[in-house]
Structure 1
C-alpha cells in the first residue's frame, strides 16, 4: 500500500513544463480518496480499541506507519503544486486553488489522525510508567493525553462517539493513578486516631498519633516509595490541593488545636529506623491556662519535625513554578490556626488590670519570634503578621476585654435577686476605691474636691453645713446595686491609670452600664416589681442610690486625673433624671395598685348605709378591718426599706385615700338614724385609733419619732375625717358652733352644701334644723 502511494506522488513530481491540470486533478482526487480510506481505517481501529476494546495493537502500528508516510507524500505534493501555481498563476488560478483547498482539508484530517496517534502513544507510556511505579512520568503522560483530547474536541466535524470513548478512558485512567497515589500516601502518612473520632476531650486527643514513613530508609530494597514523586504526581494532576487540605484538617484537629486548647498536653517525637512518630504526653500537674510562650513553643516544635520529615519537599506546581510543601500547607491552614491561637491563647493572656500591661511585652516578643521561625520554614509568607498585629494592639484589646468583663459582671448583677439587701445609713461608708489626691497646687481642684459629699464645706463664716449634707437617708438597697456602683468606681479608677484611648473607652463603658440598667432591670424584673410591694420599694431606693452617686461620680475622677479625663466633659449628671424617674414611676405604679385594692375593699361596705341592719354593719366593719390589715402588711414590708420620710408620705397617702373614700360615702347618705350615727362613729373611731399605728417607729428609728407623730402632716384627709366624727356625735348647736359662720374648723374641711346634707340626714325636719341650716352659709 505504501509503494502504491509512493508511485502516485513520484508520477506527479516527475511531470515537467506546463502542468496538465486534468492529469494533476485526477491524481489529487485519488490521493484524497486514499486519505478518506485511511481515515476510515484509523477510526475503525480507535473504535475497536477504545469503544469495542478489541486487541488490535498490531493493526494500529501499521496504520501509524501509513499515516506518517502519506503525510510526507502530501507535504511534497503540496510544495510542488504551490511552485507550479506561482509559475502559471494567470492560466489556471482557480483550478489550482481548488486543488490546494482539497489538499489543506486532507492535511487537517491527517493532523486529527496524528493527535489520535499521540493520545494512544501517551496512554501506552502511561500504563508502562504506572506499572514501574514511575508516578511523575505516568502523571505527565496522562496530562499529555488529556491535552491531545482537548485539541481533538476543539476540531469541528469529527466523530463524537470516538471522543466520548476517549474521554471515558481518560477519566478511568485518571482515577486509576489517583487511587494508586492515595494508596502510596496512606503508606507514607498514617494517622492513629482515637476510637471516638471527632471527640475533643483530653482523654480522646491524647491517643492521637501521626506516623511518617518518610524517614530515609537504610535498606535500599524498601518497598516504601519516596514521598516526593507521589506529591509531584498529585501536583501534576491538580490533586495535591485536595490531599493536602485533608492532611491540614487532620493536623489542625488532632495535633495543633489540642495543643492550644489543653495546657497539659505536650508533643513527643520518636524517630525509628523506618518511621517517625509524633504523639502526645499529658502532664499531671498543669496550669488551667498555658501562656502564649508555652503554646508557641509546642506548635513550633511540631512544625520543626514536620519540616524535617515532610514539609521541606520541593515541588513543581503548574503555573506557579517551584515551591516547597510547607508553603502550600501554610496557605491552607494558617488562617484557621492563627484564629485559634488568637481566640484561645492571646485573648486569654490579655491583662485584666492596667498594671500588668508592662509584663505583656514578653508576649509580644514571643509572638514575633514565633512568626519569624515559621517564615524561616517558609510556612508563612514574609508579609504575614496576623498574630503580631493582634499582640501589639494590646491596649485596645485590654480595653475591649475589660469592657466586656465589666458589662458581663454588670449584667449578672442586674439579673440577680433584688430582695438581697444591705442597709445604707448617712454615716456608713461604701467600699469604694481610695481616690488619688487631686494635688495641692490647684486651688480650684482642691476647692471642688472639698465640696464632695464626704466632706464639710466651709461657708466662709462660722456656720458650717452638716456632715450629712447631700447624704442619702437611712434605707435598704439591693446588695447587687451596691456592687454595681463599686464596679463603676473601680472601672473609672482603672481608666485613670490607662492610656487616653483606653481611658475614654472605659469611661464610656461605665456610662453603658448605667444605661443598660435602665433597660434591663425594669424588663427582667417586671413581674416581681408589679406584684411585690417590697421589691418595688427596694427598686425605688436602688434608683435613688445610683442617681445620688451619678451626681458627683464624673467630677470626682475628673479632678483626680491628670490624663484625658481632666480635659473632657466627664459627667454622669445627665443620667440622674432618668434614674429618678425610673424609681419614682415604679413606686407610683405600686401605689396605684395599693390604692385600687383599698377602694375595692371599701366597695364591699354597702355604702355605709342602714348600719342598724346587722348584716350591713358586719360588711362595713369587715371592709374597715381589711383596709387596716392591708396598711399594716405594707408597713411591715416598707418600714425597714424606705427612707422614713418616703415611708410616711406613702403610708399617709394610702390612709388618706381610705379616709377620703369613707367620708365621701357617709356624706352621700340621705338618712342617718341615731343608731346608724353611733355605729358609723364606731367604725370611724376604729380607723382613727388603728390607722396611725402604721406610723409607729421601729426601735432603731426612735430619733426619727417626730415623723411618725405628725400624722396630720402626711394624711391629707385626717382633719376632715375627725370633723366628720364630731358631726356624727354633735347636736345642731355644736355643729353650728363648729361652722362659726364659715370660719370654724368645720368650714375648713367641708363645704356648706356638704354640712347641710349631713344635717338633713342626721336630724328630723324641725324649726331648729331649719334655723341651723339657715346659719350654714
Structure 2
C-alpha cells in the first residue's frame, strides 16, 4: 500500500493506446477500485492496531468534552452573577481611598514647603550670626528657588507672598553687600589724561577664611562667573591690549598694589621683548593675588584664563609676535632665538595657570612661518618700491655704453661646429643692440628699483618654494605698480617739465631692457628646482616701453602745439591780407627757436644721442614744414613781404643747425630742410635764378617742389609778364 502510485496506474490505463473511449476505460477503472478495496481489507486484517477500539475511544472522548463545555458555561454564568458585583463594589472603595490619599499628599506637600521655608530662614539667621556669607546666601538662595517653584496650593497661602517678597529683598541686600566686598577685595581704577593713562590694581584676595567665604557665596548664587568675566574683560581691553600696542611701565608697588602706566605715543609700536617683559610682571602679580583655590581646584586666574586666554593669544600673535618675523632670509635663519623666548613665555603663562596645560599655544603661527614670511617680505618690498617711486626723478646718473660693439665674438673654450653655426645664425638674426643699452641719463630711482628687484630675486632663490613663488609674483607687481604710481604721482612734472619726460622715458626703456633677460637670470639661479609656474617678465617689456612712448609722445604733441600756436598767432598766418609783416612774425619765429634751443639744453646728454637727434629733427622738421606751408599756400605775396620772409627764414637756417650736436644732422634728420632752403632762394631770387634752379626739371627745385606747388609760388611772387609765362610753360 505504501508503494501504490495513483499517477502510474492512470498512465498505465490511459496511455496504452493512441485513441480510446470512456466506455473502454470505465471497466478498467472499476476493476482497479475493486482491487484496491480487496487490498485495503487485507491490510486492515493484517494490521497490529485495533481499529474498532480506537474509534470507540474517540466517541467516548467526544462525550466527555461536551460535558466539560457545559460545566464551563455554568461556571461563567455564576461568575457574571455573583463575582462581578463584588468587583464593582471594590472599585468604588478604591476610588474613594485614592481621593483621600490625594488630599493627604496635597496637605503634606504644603506642610513640607512651609517647614522648608522655616528651615531656610533658620539657616539664614545662623549664617548671619556666624558672619558667613556663604551659609547665608545659600539659605536665602534656596529659599528664593523654593518660592519660585512651590508645591500646589502653596501660592494661595498668605505665607507665600510674605516669604517671596522678604526672601528676594534679603537676597538683593546680600548681593549688594557681596558686590561691595568683592570691590574691596579686587579694586581697579583708570586715571586717563591726554599724554598717559594710569591703571591701578589693588587685589586683597588671599587664603583667609573671609576671602574664601565671599568667593563661595558668589559661586553659590551664580554671580562669581559674572564678576570674573567683568574682571577678565577689563584686564583684556584696558590692560593687556594697551600693553601690546603702547609704551608701558608695569610696576608692583607693594604685594597688593600694582600700577600700569600707558604712555600715548603716536605711531609707536613697542618691541616684542618689552611687551613680554611687561606681561610677565603683570601675570606674576595676578598669579600671586588670584591663584586661590576655592572649589575643586578652581582658581580665579584659571577662570579668567578660560574667559580671555584665546582672545589674548590671538591679539598677541597678530599685533605683536607676527611682527617679529623678519622680511629678509638672513634674519629668518636666526629666528630660533625669538621662538625660544616666546616658548619660555608660554610656559610661564601655563605655570601661573592663565593658560591651560594643553590645546593652547602661542607658537602655532610658526607652523605657517613660510606663508607669513612671504607675505611680510612681499609687503616690505612693495612698500620700499613705492617709496622709491615717489622720490624726485631729477636726481640722475649716467648709464649705458657709448658705442655698440660690432661683433659678438665668444671668447673662451672652443665650441663644436653646430654651436658655432647656431651662434652665427643668432648673430645675423638678432640686432647687436638688443643686449646693450645706449649712453644716457636715468633717474637714480630707476636704478634703485632695479637693485631692489635683484635683491628680491636673490632672496627668493634661497627660500622655500612657497616664498619663492610669492616673491616672483611680487616682483611682477612692482613693475605693474611702477606703471600705476609714477605717472600719477609725478603727473604735473611730466606735463610741464621736458627733463622729467626725458628721464621718465629713459627709465621705462632701461627697466624694459633689463626685463628682457631678467627671467633667464632667475631661471639660472633656480636651476635644479621643480617649479609649477612659469618665470618670465618678457610680457612686461612692451608695457613699460609703451608707457615711456606714451608720455614722450604726449609731450612732443605739446611742444608741437606751442610751436604751431606761436606761428599761427603771428602775421605769418595772415600773409594774404597784408603787404608787410609786423615785428611779431620774426618774434614768433625766434620764440620757436628759443623753445627748441631750450629743449636742446634740457635733452642733450639726457636722451641717447640717436633718440635726441630724431626728436629734435622731428620738431625742427615740423617747424620748418609749417613755415613752408605758410608761404606755399598764399596766392599773392608782395615783393617787400617776400624780402621780409626771406630774412626771417634765413634766421632759421642760421640757428636751426645749432640745435643738433652735429650741425650736419639737420640735413639727415630734417626732411624739409633742403626744401626750406630752396624756398628762401625763391623768395630772394629772380625769375631767371628760378629758371636756372629748375633747369628743365633736373635742378634742385625739381627735387623738392612739386610742379603745381612751384607754379603757385611763382604766381604769388611775380607779376604776370611774358617771362613769367614762358617760365611757367616750362614748368610742367
Does 2:369 align with 1:394? yes
* Contact 2:252-2:285 within 8 A present in 1 as well: no
Q: CA deviation at 1:486?
A: 0.9
- CA–CA distance in 2 between the matches of 1:537 and 1:691? 21
Q: What corresponds to 1:138 in structure 2?
A: 136
Does 2:708 align with 1:753? yes
Q: How does 1:295-314 map to 2 (within 5 A)?
A: 296=276, 299-300=279-280, 302-314=282-294
Q: CA deviation at 1:409?
A: 0.8
SS state at 2:88 partner? helix
Q: How does 1:53-202 map to 2 (within 5 A)?
A: 90=88, 118=116, 122=120, 125-126=123-124, 129=127, 132-151=130-149, 172-191=169-188, 193=190, 195-196=191-192, 201=196
Q: CA deviation at 1:498?
A: 1.8
- CA–CA distance in 2 between the matches of 1:478 and 1:735? 53
Q: CA deviation at 1:326?
A: 3.0
Does 2:456 align with 1:491? yes
How high is the TM-score relative to the length of structure 2?
A: 0.75
Q: What corresponds to 1:44 in structure 2?
A: none
Does 2:687 align with 1:732? yes
Q: What corresponds to 2:38 in structure 1?
A: none
* Contact 1:550-1:572 within 8 A present in 2 as well: yes
Per-residue CA deviations over 1:643-676 (Å, capped at 9, x if unaligned) read: 2222222222122222222211211111111111
Does 2:466 align with 1:508? no
Q: What corresponds to 1:531 in structure 2?
A: 496
* Contact 2:250-2:278 within 8 A present in 1 as well: yes
How high is the TM-score relative to the length of structure 1?
A: 0.71
Q: What corresponds to 1:522 in structure 2?
A: 487
- CA–CA distance in 1 between the matches of 2:163 and 2:572? 107
Q: What corresponds to 2:518 in structure 1?
A: 553
Does 2:368 align with 1:411? no
Q: How many residues align?
A: 631
Q: How does 1:57-456 map to 2 (within 5 A)?
A: 90=88, 118=116, 122=120, 125-126=123-124, 129=127, 132-151=130-149, 172-191=169-188, 193=190, 195-196=191-192, 201=196, 204-205=197-198, 208-216=199-207, 226-252=210-236, 256-257=240-241, 260=244, 265=249, 268=252, 270-271=254-255, 276-278=256-258, 296=276, 299-300=279-280, 302-315=282-295, 323-426=298-401
Q: CA deviation at 1:548?
A: 1.4
- CA–CA distance in 2 between the matches of 1:527 and 1:135? 78
SS state at 2:335 partner? helix
Query: Structure 1's 462 and 626: CA in aligned 2 closer, same or farther, altered over 3 A?
Result: closer
Query: Structure 1's 215 and 106: CA in aligned 2 closer, same or farther, altered over 3 A?
Result: closer
Q: CA deviation at 1:591?
A: 1.1
Q: CA deviation at 1:227?
A: 2.6
Greater Rg, structure 1 or structure 2?
2
Greater shift after overlay, 363-372 or 589-598?
A: 363-372
* Contact 1:608-1:616 within 8 A present in 2 as well: no
Query: Structure 1's 759 and 259: CA in aligned 2 closer, same or farther, altered over 3 A?
Result: closer
Q: CA deviation at 1:135?
A: 2.4
- CA–CA distance in 1 between the matches of 2:701 and 2:95? 138
Q: CA deviation at 1:585?
A: 0.4
Q: What corresponds to 2:669 in structure 1?
A: 714
- CA–CA distance in 2 between the matches of 1:381 and 1:540? 62
Q: CA deviation at 1:331?
A: 2.2
Among 767, 772, 775, which residue is 2:722 paired with?
A: 767
SS state at 1:423 partner? strand
* Contact 2:580-2:641 within 8 A present in 1 as well: no
Among 627, 630, 641, which residue is 1:662 paired with?
A: 627
Q: CA deviation at 1:173?
A: 4.4
Q: CA deviation at 1:407?
A: 1.0
Q: CA deviation at 1:174?
A: 4.4
Does 2:635 align with 1:635? no
Per-residue CA deviations over 1:411-431 (Å, capped at 9, x if unaligned) read: 111222222323324389xxx
Q: CA deviation at 1:582?
A: 0.6
- CA–CA distance in 2 between the matches of 1:685 and 1:488? 53
- CA–CA distance in 2 between the matches of 1:332 and 1:352? 34
Q: CA deviation at 1:110?
A: 7.8
- CA–CA distance in 1 between the matches of 2:192 and 2:123? 45
Q: What corresponds to 2:42 in structure 1?
A: none
* Contact 2:580-2:640 within 8 A present in 1 as well: no
Q: CA deviation at 1:300?
A: 4.3
Unaligned stretches of 5+ in structure 1? 1-85, 218-224, 283-287, 317-321, 429-439, 449-456, 698-704
Greater shift after overlay, 236-245 or 467-476?
A: 467-476
Q: CA deviation at 1:405?
A: 1.1
- CA–CA distance in 1 between the matches of 2:165 and 2:679? 112
- CA–CA distance in 1 between the matches of 2:98 and 2:650? 136
Q: CA deviation at 1:711?
A: 1.0
Q: CA deviation at 1:541?
A: 1.3
Q: CA deviation at 1:402?
A: 1.4
* Contact 1:231-1:315 within 8 A present in 2 as well: no
* Contact 2:450-2:511 within 8 A present in 1 as well: yes
Question: Alpha carbon RMSD of aligned pairs, Å?
Answer: 4.3
- CA–CA distance in 1 between the matches of 2:282 and 2:675? 91
* Contact 1:122-1:145 within 8 A present in 2 as well: yes
* Contact 2:371-2:467 within 8 A present in 1 as well: yes
Query: Structure 1's 176 and 528: CA in aligned 2 closer, same or farther, altered over 3 A?
Result: farther
